[in-house]
Amino acid sequence: MTPSNERPPTPARRHTPARRHTSALAAGTAAALGLAAVSLAGPASAASTLTVAKDGSGMYTTVQAAVNAAAAGDTISVAKGTYQEIVNVPAAKSGVTIKGATGNAEDVVITYDRAAGYTDSDGNKYGTLGSSVATFSANNLTVTGLTVRNTFDKGAHPEITDTQAVAMTAQGDRQTFRNDRFISRQDTVLNWAPSATGQYRQYFYSSFVTGDVDFVFGNATAVYDRVNIQLRDSGAAAGGLNGFLAAPDTSSAKTYGILVTGSSITSSAAANTYYLGRPWHPTADAVGQLVIRQTSLPAAVKTAGPWTDMSGYSWKNARFFEYGNTGAGAGVNSDRPQLTDAQAANYTAQKYLAGTDGWNPVG
């Protein structure tokens, strides 16, 4: 289903242009950023802190320039300001930390106007992944105290039919996002596993995410712990359709997909206008996995049944569960599968993130 007057059916685009350019983008990122000649070989050196400031008082005036110069393990400290740019942190930059210098995410904003339906200089559509304002591909990455915002306004661009507008793509393993803000409307945060069955774990803590259509989505293992998730009001009347929070496409080979735990979901939207999720099914082995537990739900959530089908794939064939939720949007009925206490013990942030190496960034 699609919110009225919002956009053409999302599933049709997700199966075609939404992922069409993913491989080419992944392969071309390093070359496009001029990183092919960077070598990390040679004697180990102490990690450095690189500073970024728009006014020229730092070592660099753009975040991307600092990323290009950084070695694995370095810290990039970004001064207060609004940085209008696309940022890509490639896989070679393992262990990099990017932090807002003030500690207040509202002070340090990386922003751009980008949509899947926009075209590059060769006339090719960017696609969903290419619409991302910030793409983080490095393992062991930490991002803290930043806002990443995609300002695409579909109302101002009726000629654009592919309206996915990703703020941030996380596509590395052992990535941590603390005290951050991610802002868009459709497809705000992409939790992506370049190899669908590979180990890609991403931890979001004490952060803010907002959107209206499938705005937490993907096939990686991602935990949203003590996060404020805001369902944006698109104007639907009570009982209508404003949007969908999540769209996981977890591989059936993976036990864990997306977990929202100990969080607060808020909205000023009318009652019963939001689904918590729907199962994105772009490949035969995609069986979306999503648990929302011990989280406050607003009246905007469709209490009778907060899950819905996608592209003809039934939500009942996905792995959607709730546990111990509260608030006006909470409820228990036959269309709201609940974990038992015994099951819930295996669906915690620690269990999702432990993987094969016992990683535990929680809290």
User: Cα(291)–Cα(140) distance, rounded to whole angstroms?
Assistant: 24
Structure tokens belonging to residue 141: 């990455």
Pairing of strands 134-136, 87-89: parallel
What pLDDT was estimated at residue 46? Answer: 83
Catalytic residue among 212, 214, 225, 249: 214
Catalytic residue among 173, 180, 187, 225: 187
- In this structure, which amino acid lies at residue 117? G
Exposure letters 262-273 (e unless 16+ CB within 10 A, then b): bbbbbbebbbbb
User: Cα(223)–Cα(291) distance, rounded to whole angstroms?
Assistant: 10
187 is catalytic: yes
- In this structure, which amino acid lies at residue 127? G
Edge-to-edge strand list for the sheet holding 75-78: 49-52, 75-78, 97-100, 142-144, 175-178, 201-205, 221-225, 258-261, 289-293, 319-323
User: Cα(193)–Cα(221) distance, rounded to whole angstroms?
Assistant: 8
Query: How do the pLDDT tens digits run along the chain, 363 residues long?
Result: 333 333 333 333 343 333 333 333 333 333 333 333 333 344 456 899 999 999 999 999 999 999 999 999 999 999 999 999 999 999 999 999 999 999 999 999 999 999 999 999 999 999 999 999 999 999 999 999 999 999 999 999 999 999 999 999 999 999 999 999 999 999 999 999 999 999 999 999 999 999 999 999 999 999 999 999 999 999 999 999 999 999 999 999 999 999 999 999 999 999 999 999 999 999 999 999 999 999 999 999 999 999 999 999 999 999 999 999 999 999 999 999 999 999 999 999 999 999 999 999 997
User: Cα(337)–Cα(1) distance, rounded to whole angstroms?
Assistant: 21
What pLDDT was estimated at residue 270? Answer: 98
Q: Which domains can be identified in the chain, with CATH numbers?
A: 10-30+79-354 (2.160.20.10)
Strands (E), 47-146: 49-52, 75-78, 81-84, 87-89, 97-100, 108-112, 134-136, 142-144
What pLDDT was estimated at residue 45? Answer: 66
User: Cα(163)–Cα(190) distance, rounded to whole angstroms?
Assistant: 15
Residue 49 to residues 52, 66, 140: CA-CA distances in angstroms? Answer: 10, 10, 17
214 is catalytic: yes
